[in-house]
Amino acid sequence: MEKQPRLLASQLFLKNSVFEVLLNGVLLTWKEIPANKKVVSGSIHHPIKGGTSHSVSVSEILAVRELDVGGGTNDDGRWQKMPQKLTEAYPYAFTVSYVERARQHRWRCSDVTFHCSDGVLRQQWIQTIREQLTALTSRPKHLLVYINPYGGKQQGECIYEQKVAPLFACASISTDVIVTEHANHARDHLKTEAELKKYDGVVCVGGDGMFSEIVHGLVSRTQRDNGVDQNSPEEKLVPCSLRIGIIPAGSTDCICYATVGINDPVTSALHVIVGDSQPMDVCSVHHNNTFLRYSISLLGYGFYGDVLADSERKRWMGPARYDFSGFKTFLTHHHYEGAVSFLPATDILGTPRDKTRCRAGCFICQHDGQLYSGDSPEESKTAPDVSDREYEVGWGVVRGKFLAINAASMSCACPRSPMGLSPAAHLADGTTDLILVRKCSRFNFLRHLLRHTSKDDQFDMTFVEVHRVRRFRFTPRHCQNDSELDLRENGKQLFSQICRDHPACSCSPAYSSWNCDGEILPHAAIEVGVHCQLIKLFARGIEEQPLFEDLANPQCAL
Ligand SMILES: CCCCCCCCCCCCC/C=C/[C@@H](O)[C@H](COP(=O)(O)O)NC(=O)CCCCCCCCCCCCCCC
Ligand SMILES: Nc1ncnc2c1ncn2[C@@H]1O[C@H](COP(=O)(O)OP(=O)(O)O)[C@@H](O)[C@H]1O
Ligand SMILES: [Ca+2]
């Protein structure tokens, strides 16, 4: 039989008032007792009306510790203000640290200190809370942390030391920290050396590029350990067991933003500590049966590929490089010719034009995006995957000249675009949203781009189409089978050849490059498949915003 959580109810002193404090295994509640209803000892038998009331879920308590009031330690300076008589009456104190919700999905660590007259009672409280925290098995105890000291504004180490490490220490999480010395250091360490059995998760301090390194390391290691060949595009990959936490310290940080709702190191650290878990789809990218990369956020050819290629040369500008290169690429207005073939996800709940959004506890992601079949629950449990050949019917093809070909397997929401590239995309439904932006005027393309910054529908334009797909391929018009790379090496020759062949082509180069989560891919012709829920993050998806800001703090909602 399962052990019942111990109940505790006591009158404890807090901020110059007496509170009825209750712990029931799910919630820790404290409610002020009006002065005329105070009972000196024992529990209250009548419901108490009036007074302030607070409630915290045990799952959101970080830690509990003893406080030595006799030694002059204070409760935010308030203890000293307490009358001498009360200090003598309640000399034993303990502090509970817990998650408090602030505006815009921000989480903060709050402390509450209770005082009591009896040392045994204090020990009973501390022990019972600790027992209930130990019972939360999803919480990590030992983490492997990688810090990219050069990401974003080069603040990674400082952010970790000042904002994150103290919280991990408070929650008794031990860490092994590696500050990377070069690109791919974290990836290669995870792939070959790291003793993964020792850890309950991996933490990445950096941007989307650094996160991508961690994913590559973990996914490759998992496939190697399980004898899976990554080079086969049809292979069903084995999901990674370790969860990944992202402490945002990069330039775009869209994976953090789209899974937590804000780019804030403290909020992310708290999601790690409480042991959240958010499954995520991962796209595999292949070229001629050779594995190239994985993508978690954006795979973009044309506009976003060109922005990235240009911005890499301007890394010294920090995150502003994307705006500069974005403006420049916008003016350049290159288009690229080719064919996109794709396998639409027809058997799913949800479309890219839905008004509903993927949020914490998303119904669609819980069902791997599949239509729920009441008759055969067993059937609906297995997520369709790129390896399922039965889905290989009904491919569509779109040929033409494109300004941008984007695949977003999640919304790609970020501070630049709070709704993202595909606002209705799901984190874990086994699909990616393929967005095709055909050649159009600069004015129309600007209208399309601007809609990413507002609530207007960026897909509601004649030159834009969007498909929710499981798989897609891109073949550039001038790609001649396997010789594509050789041609690239002779780029100048090819370029002049194309211009001779197409005098009216306004001299757009033949190829763009793919932007794969902020990394440039060397091939234009690629094949992409979505692997449903291949990785897990220490996140829970974006929580619904309460209707009134006052209710944003559930501690006040009782
Ligand atoms: C006119 C304003 C238009 C704003 C349009 C904004 C759309 C932004 C969508 C961003 C999607 C981002 C997807 C995430 C990609 C990241 O994986 C990846 C790597 O991140 P990391 O550096 O943290 O490692 N980041 C990126 O590839 C950065 C893409 C950023 C693109 C910025 C584009 C700015 C466009 C400005 C156009 C200005 C036109 C002005 C004309 C008067
Ligand atoms: N120590 C290091 N020195 C140089 N580059 C690194 C180092 N560690 C990681 N990188 C690389 O830095 C790139 C950008 O990292 P990221 O953290 O995503 O920052 P940003 O968001 O600014 O691009 C990634 O491609 C990553 O592989
Ligand atoms: Ca998805």
- Residues enclosing ligand 2, CB less than 6 A? 148-152, 180-185, 206-210, 213, 250-252, 518-519
416 CA → ligand 1 middle, Å: 7
- Quick one: pLDDT band at residue 495, thresholds 50, 70, 90? very low
Task: Please identify, by atom number, the ligand 1 atom nearest to the C-alpha of residue 208.
Answer: 24
Segment 190-203 shows an average pLDDT of: 96
Residue of 150, 160, 244, 298 to mutate, ligand 2, most atoms within 8 A of C-beta: 150
- Quick one: pLDDT band at residue 557, thresholds 50, 70, 90? very low
Q: Which pLDDT value is given to residue 151?
A: 83
CA-nearest residue for atom 5, ligand 2, is 183
326 CA → ligand 1 middle, Å: 7
322 CA → ligand 1 middle, Å: 6
Task: Decide which of 488 and 201 is more confident.
Answer: 201
Task: Please identify, by atom number, the ligand 2 atom nearest to the C-alpha of residue 181.
Answer: 1
Residue of 147, 148, 322 to mutate, ligand 2, most atoms within 8 A of C-beta: 148
Q: Which pLDDT value is given to residue 371?
A: 59
H or E element at residue 88: helix 84-89
d(CA 486, CA 509): 16
Token pair for residue 292? 């190239």
Task: Please identify, by atom number, the ligand 2 atom nearest to the C-alpha of residue 180.
Answer: 1
| C-beta of residue 340 within 8 angstroms of C-beta of residue 397 | yes
pLDDT above 70 covers a percentage of the chain that reads: 80
Segment 83-95 shows an average pLDDT of: 77
ipTM attached to this prediction:
0.95
Give whole-number Cα distances, 251 to 87, 187, 496, 541, in Å: 50, 19, 36, 21
3-state helix, strand, coil in the chain (%, to 5): 30, 30, 40
The DSSP call for residue 372 is P
H or E element at residue 234: none
Ligand 1 near 449 CB (within 6 A) = yes
- Look-up: residue for tokens 């003793």? 195
Written as one letter, the residue type at 94 is: F
Start-to-end Cα distance in the chain: 32
Q: Which pLDDT value is given to residue 87?
A: 66
**Which residue stretches of 417-504 are H helix?**
442-450, 484-489, 491-501
Written as one letter, the residue type at 320 is: A
CA-nearest residue for atom 11, ligand 2, is 183
Task: Please identify, by atom number, the ligand 1 atom nearest to the C-alpha of residue 307.
Answer: 31
183 CA → ligand 1 middle, Å: 22
Token pair for residue 229? 């060949």
Residue of 210, 252, 458 to mutate, ligand 1, most atoms within 8 A of C-beta: 252
**Which residue stretches of 382-531 are H helix?**
442-450, 484-489, 491-501
Parallel, antiparallel or unpaired: strands 298-302 and 278-287: unpaired
> Is 143's pLDDT higher than 90?
yes
User: What are 325-365's pLDDT values in tens digits?
Assistant: 999 999 999 999 999 999 999 888 889 999 999 999 999 99
> Is 42's pLDDT higher than 80?
no
310 CA → ligand 3 middle, Å: 28
253 is catalytic: no
| 3-class SS of residue 207 | coil
Task: Please identify, by atom number, the ligand 1 atom nearest to the C-alpha of residue 300.
Answer: 27
CA-nearest residue for atom 26, ligand 1, is 518
442-450 helix and 321-332 helix, angle to the nearest 10 degrees: 150
- Look-up: residue for tokens 């350049």? 332
Please choose, from the candidates 283, 239, 229, 230, the residue with its C-alpha nearest in 3D space to the C-alpha of residue 470. Answer: 283
Task: Decide which of 133 and 485 is more confident.
Answer: 133
11 CA → ligand 1 middle, Å: 55
